[in-house]
């Protein structure tokens, strides 16, 4: 975690001169100097660096070069939008992806499976932004039933702003979250399917068949339980990827979340925002990995009793 923060700062620290990117050609040297002072860019590197680490641990990342507002404030403002979007998308992707993956893995030869697979392959080939544009065109421009941008009516709960408490908020989240989840869903379908197919060919499934265990129990108890173990890992990676891809979805739907903020930061080389975003992402990933490891411990008996010596 610290390492990532470390790397993120040291990288950005040597990247270009933000002043040139912020101001126009006509700005005078005095004005530039003043700006440097206020942003703390005149201090020696090690001072800037240690200040960065101290502030980062307090959740402060300085002042945005471009918007000239504290980064922490900007992030706090945008965070709820992104989290709501990602959570809804993750649920859609995981639930439907796993169900369809199990179905296609078990019914290898059925027509429905072939259709699902063809569609899922198309899903992998559709860039998120293309899906977004198609959705906007279809549902917003032609049918006009769903909004094409923004979060709809937002309720402010003080520390959190949510779109879940209004109808327009729910309407607004449908298109972005489906768009965001589609790409991930197709991945999950294919991974779960491959896993199920491999498990159905193992010796222990064959032995279960040889004992006369019913096909239903073999598929939905013996195979499924084993097949779901990797889904935990997938879920972890999935959430991380969703956060990254929310950048694109937020841009397409002009969703006021962190991704939208970040992409503007990249375009304007707004380093405080970029480094804050990176630190935030790193934090999320570390948390996800931690949770996944704990879940594994409870679900897979092979890990749980690894320390025990083999006896018998």
Partner 1 sequence: MDNNINTTWSRIKDSDIFFSFKKSPTAIISSFILFIIFFCSFFVELITPYNPFDPSSLSLMEAFTPPSWTEEGLSKFILGTDGQGRDMLSTILYGSRISLIVGFSAIIFSLILGVGLGLTAGYFGGKYEMIIMRLTDVQLTVPSILMALLVDGIARGLISREMHDEMAIYVLIFAIGISEWPQFARVSRAATLVEKNKDYVSASTIIGVSNLVIMFKHILPNILRPVLVIGTIGLALAIIAESTLSFLGVGVPPTTPSLGTLIRLGNDFLFSGEWWITFFPAIFLVILAFSINLLGDWMRDTLNPRLNK
Partner 2 sequence: MSFLKIKDLSVNYQMRKETVYAAKNVNIEVNKGEILGLVGESGSGKSTVGNAIINLIDEPGKVSSGSILLGELNIHEDPKNIVKYRGKKIGLIFQDPQTSLNPILTIGEQLIETIQTHLALTKEEAKERSISLLKEVGIKDAAKRFDDYPHQFSGGMRQRVVISLALCCEPELLIADEPTTALDVSIQSQILDLIKKLTKERNLAVILITHDMGVIAETANRVAVMKNGDVVEIGITKEILTNPKETYTKSLVSSVPPTNKKISRFVIIEKENNIDNKNNLKILNRWTKKKIIKQDLVQVKNLSKSFDDNFFTESSKNSVMAVNDVSFNIREGESFGLVGESGSGKSTIAKMIVNLFKPSAGEFFFDNVCVTKIKQNSEMMKFRKQIQMIFQDPYSSLNGRLKVRDIVSEPIKLHNPLISKNDLDSYVFDLLESVELAQNSADRYPHEFSGGQRQRISIARSLATQPRLLVCDEPTSALDVSIQAQILNLLKDLQEQLNLTILFISHDLPVVRQMCDRIGVLRDGKLCEVSDTEDLFLKPQHDYTKELLRLMPKIESIYN
Given the rule CB under 8 A, which residues bind partner 1?
Answer: 4, 11-12, 15-16, 18, 20-21, 121-122, 124-130, 133-134, 136-137, 141, 197-198, 201, 237, 240-241, 243-245, 247-248, 251, 262-263, 265-267, 269, 271, 274, 278, 281, 285, 288-289
CA distances from 120 to 135, 174, 191, 203, 240 (A): 17, 20, 11, 30, 20
**Residue from 4, 52, 3 nearest 278 by CA:** 4
CB 164 within 8 A of CB 84: yes
Shortest Å, Cβ 141 to partner 2: 49
Number of residues that bind partner 2 (CB under 8 A): 30
Does 229 help bind partner 2 (rule: CB under 8 A)?
A: yes
| 300: contact with partner 2 by CB under 8 A | yes
Q: Is 214 in the site for partner 2 (CB under 8 A)?
A: yes
110 binds partner 2 (CB under 8 A): no
Q: Where are the beta strands (DSSP E) in the chain?
A: 155-156, 161-162
Question: In the block, which residue shows the tokens 């005078």?
Answer: 28
Q: Distance of CA 205 to CAs 113, 127, 190, 208, 302, Å?
A: 22, 38, 21, 5, 18
Partner that binds at residue 202, options partner 2, partner 1, none, CB closer than 5 to 8 Å by kind: partner 2
209 makes contact, choosing from partner 1, partner 2, none, with CB < 5 to 8 Å by partner type, with: partner 2
Judged by CB under 8 A, the chain residues 27 through 56 that form the site for partner 2 are none
Q: Which does 305 bind (CB under 5 to 8 A by kind): partner 2, partner 1, none?
A: partner 2
With CB under 8 A as the contact rule, the residue among 112, 206, 220, 294 that binds partner 2 is 206
Would you give the end-to-end CA distance of the chain in angstroms?
43
- Say what the alpha-carbon torsion angle 93, 99, 104, 105 is, to the nearest 10 degrees: 100
Residues near partner 2, by CB under 8 A: 202-215, 217, 221-222, 225-226, 229, 300-302, 305-308, 310-312
């Amino acid at each position: 975690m610290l390492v990532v923060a470390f790397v993120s700062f040291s990288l950005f620290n040597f990247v270009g001169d933000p002043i040139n990117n912020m101001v126009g050609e006509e700005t005078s040297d005095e004005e530039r100097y003043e700006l440097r002072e206020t942003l703390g860019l005149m201090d020696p590197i090690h001072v800037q660096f240690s200040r960065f680490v101290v502030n980062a641990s307090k959740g402060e990342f300085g002042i945005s070069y471009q918007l000239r507002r504290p980064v922490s404030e900007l992030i706090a403002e945008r965070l709820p939008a992104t989290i709501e979007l990602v959570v809804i998308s993750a649920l859609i992707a995981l639930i439907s992806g796993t169900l369809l993956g199990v179905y296609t893995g078990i019914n290898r030869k059925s027509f429905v499976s072939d259709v699902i697979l063809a569609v899922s392959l198309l899903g992998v080939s559709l860039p998120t932004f293309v899906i977004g544009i198609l959705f906007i065109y279809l549902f917003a421009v032609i049918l006009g039933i769903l909004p094409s941008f923004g979060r709809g009516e937002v309720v402010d709960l003080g520390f959190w702003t949510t779109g879940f408490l209004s109808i327009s908020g729910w309407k607004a989240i449908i298109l972005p979250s489906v768009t965001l989840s589609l790409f991930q869903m197709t991945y999950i379908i294919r991974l779960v399917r491959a896993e199920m197919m491999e498990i159905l060919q193992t010796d222990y499934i064959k032995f279960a068949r040889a004992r006369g265990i019913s096909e239903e129990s073999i598929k939905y108890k013996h195979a499924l339980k084993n097949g779901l173990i990797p889904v935990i890992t997938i879920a972890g990676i999935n959430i991380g990827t969703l956060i990254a891809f929310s950048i694109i979805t937020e841009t397409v739907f002009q969703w006021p979340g962190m991704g939208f903020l970040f992409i503007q930061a990249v375009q304007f080389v707004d380093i405080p925002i970029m480094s804050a975003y990176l630190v935030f992402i790193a934090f999320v990933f570390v948390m996800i990995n931690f949770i996944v490891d704990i879940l594994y411990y409870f679900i897979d008996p092979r890990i749980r009793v690894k320390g025990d010596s083999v006896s018998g």
